[in-house]
Amino acid sequence: MIRLALTGLIGMGKSTVAAMFARHGVPVFDADAAVHALQGVGGSTVAPIEARFPGTTRDGAVDRARLAAAVLGKPDELAALEAIVHPAVLLARESFVAAHRDSPALLFDIPLLFETGGERAFDKVIVVSSPAELQRRRVLGRPGMSEAKLAAILERQTSDADKRARADFVVDTSGSLAATEAQVEQILACLSLAQGA
Ligand SMILES: CC(C)(COP(=O)(O)OP(=O)(O)OC[C@H]1O[C@@H](n2cnc3c(N)ncnc32)[C@H](O)[C@@H]1O)[C@@H](O)C(=O)NCCC(=O)NCCS
Ligand SMILES: Nc1ncnc2c1ncn2[C@@H]1O[C@H](COP(=O)(O)OP(=O)(O)OP(=O)(O)O)[C@@H](O)[C@H]1O
Residues framing ligand 1 (Cβ under 6 A): 10, 31-32, 35, 64, 67-68, 71-72, 78, 81-82, 85, 89, 111-112, 153, 156-157
- Collect contacts of 157-162 with beta carbons under 8 A, ≥24 apart: 157/9, 157/10, 157/111, 157/112, 157/115, 158/114, 158/115, 160/8, 160/9, 160/12, 160/129, 160/132, 162/114
Amino acid 195: pLDDT: 60
Atom of ligand 1 nearest to the CA of 11: 31
Instruction: Provide the residue-wise pLDDT of the chain in tens; the chain has 197 residues.
Output: 999 999 999 999 999 999 999 999 999 999 999 999 999 999 999 999 999 999 999 999 999 999 999 999 999 999 999 999 999 999 999 999 999 999 999 999 999 999 999 999 999 999 999 999 999 999 999 999 999 999 999 999 999 999 999 999 999 999 999 999 999 999 999 998 876 44
Judge if ipTM > 0.90.
Answer: no
| Domains of the chain in sequence order | 2-190 (3.40.50.300)
**42 annotated among ligand-binding-site residues:** no
User: Using a 6 Å cutoff on CB, does residue 175 contact ligand 2?
Assistant: yes
